[in-house]
Amino acid sequence: MQATIAITTGEPAGVGPEICAALSRANRPVRFVLIGHHALLVERARMAGVQAAFVPYRRDAVTPPGVLEVLDVDLPAPARPGKLVCENAAYVLRTLDLAIDGCLSGEFAAMVTAPVQKSVINESGIPFTGHTEYLAERTATRRVVMMLAGQYGPERQWMRVALASTHLPLKGVPAALTPEELEAVLHILHDDLRDKFGLPAPRILVAGLNPHAGEGGHMGREEIDVIQPVLEKLRAAGMQLIGPLPADTLFTPHQLARGDAVLAMYHDQGLPVLKFATFGGGINVTLGLPIIRTSVDHGTALDLAGTGKADPGSLFAAVDCALAMIRARQ
């Protein structure tokens, strides 16, 4: 029996609708349910020159390969490529809610998200930090971990980078890295690498916070006071943890070959390297949730919306990762 994956179509003024339409040519053993405004999807596919067939979603339907099912959601205001309007912010969150509810109920095996525009949601009066935090709140999950991943190099090796802190100002990072939080993040990362990625004994490379991993305390004490004690405690419990390592040499081939994933201490410590190596095929995964959620690793690309120039490669990779996670769970 084919798995059913919900695809949220993202910000209606961005590239989300057209890259979702491109799934019509994705030859994958899966049933796609696009959650968004049916007429918008038809229009953007036409504008972008994407040949796609759309039909209304019915849970018990049998759909031919290449046909995209649409769970239709009303769009409050007209959506023009590249033109953000606050009136459609609630629509974006409604698509997420439908996907989350369907995953929690078992109707969908996973959800894959197209990009949203955080700024316009906040400008509409709805506080919104990002997909990761919203999914945690809606699933009543106390802690989640953001991980980006992608294949790189001629041998298409996997690079996985998880974050100990996410959307924080840089000045707020040291205070957020408490022993309790770091331990919780490592538990989530370890358990999901094992249970959702099928790695029976994951090896995790852990970055230090400061330059040169603190240089023995001369450039900061977080490694000595927080990171190292947590790593020693969890190693004693059986985890394979390497570090804390200086971030400027962690992302070398020799070091990466020693691990299955990297834990960076803050957003811009690890993600620039990953995006440089994998952009166009990278993905975002939310760990720690009771459901499977993957996403593209790029933004709404308002300047490309409606042009047909947006590359759907990251969306295809997110679908493939979701499928692999479904199989690992089974």
- Which positions make up the binding site for a divalent metal cation? 167, 212, 267
**Alpha-helix residue ranges (DSSP H) falling in the chain:** 16-21, 38-48, 89-105, 118-123, 131-138, 173-176, 179-195, 222, 228-236, 247-250, 253-256, 267-278, 313-329
Instruction: Output the known binding site for substrate.
Output: 131-132, 275, 284, 293
Instruction: For residue 246, give the DSSP letter.
Output: -
Residue type (1 letter), 167:
H
Tally of helices (H runs) and strands (E runs) in the chain: 13, 12
Contact at 8 Å (CB) between 162 and 145? Answer: yes
Binding-site positions: 131-132, 167, 212, 267, 275, 284, 293
Residues 6+ apart with CB under 8 A from 58: 69
- Beta-carbon contacts of 114 under 8 Å, excluding residues fewer than 6 positions away, are 7, 8, 9, 10, 11, 14, 15, 16, 17, 19, 20, 295, 296, 315
Cβ atoms of residues 57 and 32 within 8 Å: no
Spatial distance between the Cα atoms of 301 and 316, rounded to a whole number of angstroms:
17
User: Do 283 and 149 form a contact (C-beta atoms < 8 A)?
Assistant: yes
Nearest by Cα to 9 from 114, 135, 118? 114
Asked if 193 contacts 260 with a C-beta cutoff of 8 angstroms, the reply is yes
